[in-house]
Structure 1
Amino acid sequence: MNETEIMQELAFAYFAGKISKADEKKLFEFIQKEEQNYQQFKDWERAWMLSEKEDLRTAREWESLQCRIRTHEAVNPMISKSGSDLWRWAVAIAAMFVLIAGGTWVVLNTTTFMNKAQYIVFEAPYGEKSKMTFPDGTVVWLNAGSSLKYSNKYNTDDRVVELEGEGYFEVAKKKKIPFVVHTRGYDVVVKGTKFNVTAYPEDSNITTTLMEGAVELLKEKQHIAMKPGESVTLNVVSGKFTLTKVNPDVSKAWSENRIEYDNISLRELAAKLSRQYDVKIHLLTEEVGDKRFSISLRNQETIGEVMSALKEIIPIQVERKNMDIYIK
């Protein structure tokens, strides 16, 4: 086997919590050589998770994480003392505060060994949804292809998170420390409430929908106070905000394993389904992408069943080739 194949085997052993100290040292030396090695490591992590068939419970995850704490002592000489301590802190946080929902895997990464920033990144890979609980009781669901970044100062100095993708938040009230969601377009400032934010980097719009409580959107000198039942969208190209009245339950349907959208274009839905089912949906004409409709599916349908439902709603033809779906 070549070096890459050997490192992949070591990575899989590491994810399973069955790696020796000597082999873990080799693995982390490989990861630190180049940025592309670190990206390869993340790809292996996702591949390993997808290969797991049984329902992983919190007790098993705790056992695996404890093994990682023990075996990671092998890499102490390679990183600074503060970095080593942060790694242990990050793994301990994972064991204590991450919850695994049915059929969902939680990915927890730390950037410690790549730089000195003391941050943790919580991810939901394509085709998955993840749920976690912070130490203050705040609960976050991440939709497919999303990530949430926060620091080791969370719940002490601040309650600040950075979102890429889509997240549904149920924020615990804490008067002295407001909860803040950073997106690439604006900040969402919260005291205690339920809301959904969609902020995928490839999308031209960033949308916040409020279910309960109150939030304020901050963008430079612009402040927008939201009320329940309102949805505010920022077009990042034009910089313009649009406020509409909506049924807020629709925006969080994905967190309850439902596909429910009002007046959505096929182009918008294709992007969402591509992330949700980890497929690539190709719209062969501009015209077909502009078609608008409403859809409500509540039984955790497969992507094939979703395509069949779409053909009943709008006049389209669908062809599938493995992970690629072509619509015309």
Structure 2
Amino acid sequence: MFSSEEEYFLFLANRLLEGTLTAEERIVLDNLLRADENKRQFIAFLESEQEERQNIEAEIIYEKSKPIELVADRDSNVHPFLNHKKIKIISIAASILMVFGLLTFWSIKRDKEENIDSEWQTIVTGKGERKSIKLSDGSEVWLNNESTLRLKSGFGKTDRVLQLIGEGYFSIAKNPNLPLTIKTAHAEVLVLGTKFNLRAIPDENITTTSLIEGKVQLKVVENKQTKTYELLPGNKISVVNSVLEPSHNKSKHAVIQQQVAFEKLDIVETEATETLWMKNRLVLKGDDFNAVARKMERWFGKPVVIKTERLAEQHVTGIFEETTSEEFLDMIKRTGIKLNYYTLNDTLYVK
């Protein structure tokens, strides 16, 4: 437990961060700090934490754990990533202080300063989740399910570099002096100010950039040479990665061969199908049922197992707005595909 002096010190520290410290309390706090180096380090740590949180590079505006929630009013069920009011971390600090002592804070602060250049902010969505994110430069990002967005400290000030695994829709704020680059596993997208969808899901072996507004450049490494492609609104470019085994190439190792293809966006009711996921609409374009199962897992957040090879050979095309995996499969059955399903241990089995 804390002594009465320690409790009063924490009370004053909290008032300091809130900006409510009186002149008399300021004198008392200064006297305590002059007499104890550990307390000075503790206050310095808290103030640096507060400043770091207020200057964070990305903020989750809201997040939804189920697809149906995305069509609800944006003002409801909002989960802010950052509280713009004075951040009260005294209670957390006090708990750590009780166990480890004030010197622990100094050790943490020192380690953070040594590693600050290597720090990245990472935002992740799980299966069935989507998030809307506001970046510090004014850009906005929708992050689809099972996706990862990373940005480094200093984003919008020293650089504008993002890393994406999965799928996201980007509305990029214009800054001619600091172009924005999005890196995926097999391509880079360079933008000045535009709206586009970028899909780079690892198990699909394809990176697709769909441009809605503005102009982007796509950089692809082919045969150890970098090629740049320019994309105009209403078009999309796909980079397909195929693995060539040693018997099919001159190398002794498997190599990745990339093919680049341009297409027009598929428009339905004045909207590109590539962005309909933001409106809770799952788009399938001739997907075989194994691919459908993978998309169902990401979309609804429930594991799916295909039990028969006959079903795996079926292909599905359509735009679906169902809110559960069971409703989705019932709709598939209406298209004429014969299937049955059951749930066991929260896994959906389809046969």
| Gap change, CA 1:231 and 1:319, over 3 Å in 2 | same
Deviations along 1:270-320, whole A, 9 cap, x unmatched? 21221121111222345533433322223x521111111111124131312
Q: CA deviation at 1:148?
A: 0.4
Corresponding residue for 2:349?
A: 326
Asked whether 1:81 is paired with 2:102, we answer no
Q: CA deviation at 1:124?
A: 1.2
| Gap change, CA 1:78 and 1:287, over 3 Å in 2 | farther
Number of equivalences: 247
Please show how residues 85-96 of structure 1 align to structure 2 within 5 Å: none
| Gap change, CA 1:132 and 1:269, over 3 Å in 2 | same
Give the structure-1-normalised TM-score. 0.67
Asked whether 1:279 is paired with 2:302, we answer yes
Q: Percent identity?
A: 23
Corresponding residue for 1:105?
A: none
Q: Could you tell me which of 241, 245, 251 is aligned with 1:236?
A: 241
| Gap change, CA 1:65 and 1:167, over 3 Å in 2 | farther
Please show how residues 135-150 of structure 1 align to structure 2 within 5 Å: 135-150=136-151
Corresponding residue for 2:317?
A: 294
| Gap change, CA 1:291 and 1:60, over 3 Å in 2 | closer
Asked whether 1:66 is paired with 2:94, we answer no
- The AA in structure 2 aligned to 1:304 is E
Corresponding residue for 1:250?
A: 273
| Gap change, CA 1:59 and 1:149, over 3 Å in 2 | closer
| Gap change, CA 1:172 and 1:120, over 3 Å in 2 | same
- The AA in structure 2 aligned to 1:81 is R
Corresponding residue for 1:130?
A: 131
Corresponding residue for 2:8?
A: none
| Gap change, CA 1:315 and 1:181, over 3 Å in 2 | same
Q: CA deviation at 1:325?
A: 2.1
- CA separation in 1, counterparts of 2:80 and 2:123? 19
Indicate if the aligned counterparts of 1:229 and 1:246 stay in contact, CA closer than 8 A: yes
- Gapped regions of structure 2 (runs ≥ 5): 1-63, 66-75, 97-103, 243-256
| Gap change, CA 1:188 and 1:131, over 3 Å in 2 | same
Q: RMSD between aligned alpha carbons?
A: 2.9
| Gap change, CA 1:229 and 1:268, over 3 Å in 2 | farther
Q: CA deviation at 1:130?
A: 0.5
Larger Rg: 2
Corresponding residue for 1:167?
A: 168
Give the structure-2-normalised TM-score. 0.63
| Gap change, CA 1:63 and 1:232, over 3 Å in 2 | closer
- CA separation in 2, counterparts of 1:117 and 1:77? 20
Q: CA deviation at 1:264?
A: 3.2
Corresponding residue for 2:334?
A: 312
Indicate if the aligned counterparts of 1:206 and 1:233 stay in contact, CA closer than 8 A: yes
SS at match of 1:156: coil
- CA separation in 1, counterparts of 2:169 and 2:147? 11
Q: CA deviation at 1:56?
A: 4.4
- Gapped regions of structure 1 (runs ≥ 5): 1-48, 87-111
Corresponding residue for 1:193?
A: 194
Deviations along 1:92-125, whole A, 9 cap, x unmatched? xxxxxxxxxxxxxxxxxxxx7xx96221001112
SS at match of 1:197: strand
- CA separation in 2, counterparts of 1:287 and 1:147? 34
